[in-house]
Structure 1
């Protein structure tokens, strides 16, 4: 009886299987890395910048030279005195 198919894989068959296996594992690794990066970036929520406090704004203005030390102390004591109330 004559067999038309030899049941063996030739040289090109081995090459195709090897290339397919390499491509398969490259795809699996790529998907895993991209999934990990996506999950990691979703866990890191950037915090919004904190609103500057009135004291901080005064310190910055003093540091920039917009107000002098006397003006700084006067405004700082006004801030600590509390809100002004109308009589």
Structure 2
């Protein structure tokens, strides 16, 4: 394969000039680079927005804590738990919630 490319690049084609063999190569390198860039950008954006599933980073655990607080609030509103139990459980949930980095 490489010998064919090398042979083709040394042969002069009237009307095409020297070195036009690299145009399709550059085209495909640019297309493949564009695809890789789009995939990497999209994955980074998904991770930042929390769409990464269980691997979504610190935002995933913060969303789970808010969800647990919502369930606890609903149970308190329905009368399933007393106020003292609600406040105790809410304190436990908030103490286990990860803190944002200081900086």
- TM interval, short-chain normalised: 0.3 to 0.5
Q: Which has the larger radius of gyration?
A: 1
TM-score (normalizing by structure 2)? 0.39
TM-score (normalizing by structure 1)? 0.45
